[in-house]
Structure 1
């Protein structure tokens, strides 16, 4: 399994272009996967390989829903003797146990804070050097960890696959839709920005959406 990187706490300002809303979030230290979850990691925990672009263990897992991602987190936690982060009160409702030490999805504030790694521009480096996107990907996902990392040692924060986050996008307008961050291999450069937000239904599966894991505590 890929290592988790310790991320320092701090403040992050999030923004939404649709509503022109900005909000500040204070974060405690946490840990995040150095790379998106790979096909081999997903198969080792779940016994399944759902990706459309199969064939190499280090490709990011994709064609996974938000529900697939949170269930993976719980299964990996149980496998490693950790307290699962999620409880399922019914088939359409997951509750996050904030005191659990197990694996979970990052919040979108955690995701952007980790992506930026102290930087303030749209990218944490020159895009061709850090991201697999439409102009560099060859029309498919690429093995994780093969572009340059950011200053905190995280790979593929932009491009390759969109990352599911824990958060609801806008419950009043979009109901149960969850946040996606980071851009994917099929996207143009505009979508591969630290601040770009996308939304989708938690059952949605497509070949440019994956996820990475986090754990609470430094």
Structure 2
């Protein structure tokens, strides 16, 4: 029996093009982005706990973003939420083989690609951020050493909150397989970071099994979903 639970608020975005860059390799590349939808906020502790029937790691079940979740935790959440909402899961997961495949035809929830994330974050802007950092992000300079409830800062021009600061967002992509193996991309900066890490172009990486106290995620899907 499928039990339907409330999913994250989503915004559908029209496709376009975004240019990504990497300071380590001094490389830049353009990516065409198709229409998609993305979460208005990072997934909260309440949402994570409701879908997984657990108390989310990192504190009380509230509107704070879920933290201490690995990339594997995030993709499992996407599949669970999809099933509980009657959608076809996006991921084919083989934990033993440490492999997850993406069914591109599925209508379920998933992680944004790195290109989708930056395209959504920039929201048509071209600078390092979509506004003054203290207006839009929780970071080391104003966070008092902790995360904060989602939606407490100003959104970007497309109505997306906490794209920068508060918690880093896991993305689907492998960072650099030749150098870092299975490490996955993180985007957006977090509450513990200096201002230079909270920029639209900044890329970070982590092993998909690592769960860190300033890392969470937001969901994406086809346009529209939910």
* Range into which the TM-score falls when normalised by the shorter chain: over 0.9
- Alignment equivalent of 1:64, drawn from 47, 66, 69: 69
List aligned pairs for 1:6-17, cutoff 5 A. Answer: 6-17=12-23
Q: In structure 2, what is the Cα distance between the partners aligned to 1:85 and 1:176?
A: 19
Q: In structure 2, what is the Cα distance between the partners aligned to 1:49 and 1:186?
A: 23
Q: In structure 1, what is the Cα distance between the partners aligned to 2:213 and 2:54?
A: 15
SS in 2 for 1:125: coil
Deviation at 1:90, TM superposition (A): 4.7
The worse-fitting range, judged by mean Cα deviation, of 43-52 and 112-121 is 43-52
- Alignment equivalent of 1:180, drawn from 186, 189, 193: 186
List aligned pairs for 1:8-157, cutoff 5 A. Answer: 8-52=14-58, 54-91=59-96, 92-157=98-163
Q: In structure 2, what is the Cα distance between the partners aligned to 1:185 and 1:176?
A: 25
Deviation at 1:3, TM superposition (A): 1.2
Deviation at 1:56, TM superposition (A): 4.9
Q: Which ranges of 4 or more aligned residues in structure 1 deviate by more than 3 Å?
A: none
Flag structure 1 segments of 5+ consecutive residues without an equivalent: none
> Is residue 149–residue 156 contact of structure 1 (8 Å, CA) maintained in 2?
yes
Q: Normalising to structure 1: TM-score of the pair?
A: 0.97
**What are the Cα deviations for residues 183-210 of structure 1, in whole angstroms up to 9, with x where unaligned?**
0000000100000000000000011000
Instruction: Indicate how the Cα distance of structure 1 residues 90 and 209 shifts in structure 2: closer, same or farther if over 3 A, else same.
Output: closer
> Is residue 13–residue 223 contact of structure 2 (8 Å, CA) maintained in 1?
no
Q: Which residue of 2 aligns with 1:171?
A: 177
Flag structure 2 segments of 5+ consecutive residues without an equivalent: 1-6
> Is residue 161–residue 209 contact of structure 1 (8 Å, CA) maintained in 2?
yes
> Is residue 55–residue 61 contact of structure 2 (8 Å, CA) maintained in 1?
no
Q: In structure 2, what is the Cα distance between the partners aligned to 1:56 and 1:73?
A: 18
> Is residue 162–residue 182 contact of structure 1 (8 Å, CA) maintained in 2?
yes
Count of aligned pairs: 217
Q: In structure 2, what is the Cα distance between the partners aligned to 1:108 and 1:24?
A: 12
**What are the Cα deviations for residues 120-156 of structure 1, in whole angstroms up to 9, with x where unaligned?**
0000011100000001111100000010000000000
Q: Normalising to structure 2: TM-score of the pair?
A: 0.94
SS in 2 for 1:68: helix
Q: How well do the aligned residues superpose, as a CA RMSD in angstroms?
A: 0.9
Deviation at 1:22, TM superposition (A): 0.6
